[in-house]
Structure 1
Amino acid sequence: LAAYFDGSRFSFELPLRVEGSAFQRAVCNAMLAIPPGETRTYGDIARDLEHPAQAVGQACGANPIPVIIPCHRVLAANGLGGFSGGVGVEIKVWLLRHEGAAGLLI
């Protein structure tokens, strides 16, 4: 995490075992596939997984390890959407700026 916050690393290669349904694990895998500095929408992931966008949003909100599983890279179709970090979307904005995705926020 120190390397992430000092800007020298934006992804992690860790053995992860996410607990939850097969759908929740699929959403986590989709979030892990989003490169740093890029975003996708809940709808994009929903289309790929053939589930409603609201279900994707709920799975993102249940993400147990934000930053490691980058739920901040998933946006609503017309705005930021939520953030599972429990401290508000301001952190989501900071994380996106930190990764160089600030142009998406203008």
Structure 2
Amino acid sequence: MEVITGSCRLGLWFVHAAWGGNRVYRVRFAREGLPGGDVPVPLRRYCAGMREDLTTLESPATEADTVTAAVYRAVRRVPYGETATYGEIAALVGTAPRVVGMAMAHNPTPLVIPCHRIVARDGIGGFSPELAIKEHLLAMERENARKNRRV
């Protein structure tokens, strides 16, 4: 299968993606867009601020029989507009919160594996390349979830 690369806007940033079909291989955040292709429709809609279910997209990172892949699978189950702590994910997987943090830091497909929904027990936690992206994503999801509850 051909791997396509492209980008779309997310607030002040761009989301760069490499994908084929519904399989996303890489997601990165940058200040400038990529020339050429777009990103998969669900990802584009999500980045445009729409409530979108990204579980329709696959990430190869969830497929191995490793602790890291188990962490990624658990993180994918955190609902849109909600958060879980590193400790809660660690308890689900049977590992330590620090292991969850390391997995989040090396997540090859953020948004598809929504690492922004994983927060510290006493604060927001970290996010690469900028914490402001995590804050933006959490605020966008909270607002969309709030709107959905009102309807």
TM-score tier (shorter): 0.7 to 0.9
**Structure whose alpha-carbon radius of gyration is higher:** 2
- How far is 1:50 from its partner? 1.6
Q: How many residues align structurally?
A: 100
Counterpart in the other structure of 2:52: 9
Aligned with 1:35 (options 79, 88, 96)? 79
- How far is 1:60 from its partner? 1.0
Judging by fraction of residues, say which structure has more helix.
1
Letter in 1 for 2:54: S
The 8 Å contact of residues 39 and 73 in structure 1, kept in 2 or not, is answered as yes
Q: Distance in 1 between matches of 2:120 and 2:137?
A: 16
Letter in 2 for 1:97: A
Structure 1 length as normaliser, TM-score?
0.84
Letter in 2 for 1:99: E
Question: Any unmatched runs of 5+ in structure 2?
Answer: 1-42, 144-151
Q: Distance in 2 between matches of 1:67 and 1:14?
A: 10
The reply to whether residue 90 of structure 1 matches residue 123 of structure 2 is no
Counterpart in the other structure of 2:67: 23
Aligned with 2:142 (options 97, 100, 104)? 100
- How far is 1:59 from its partner? 0.7
Structure 2 length as normaliser, TM-score?
0.61
RMSD of aligned alpha carbons: 2.0
Judging by fraction of residues, say which structure has more strand.
2
The 8 Å contact of residues 45 and 52 in structure 2, kept in 1 or not, is answered as yes
Q: Distance in 2 between matches of 1:39 and 1:32?
A: 11
Q: Distance in 1 between matches of 2:132 and 2:53?
A: 19
**3-state SS of paired residue (1:51):** coil
The 8 Å contact of residues 40 and 75 in structure 1, kept in 2 or not, is answered as yes
Q: Distance in 2 between matches of 1:62 and 1:46?
A: 16
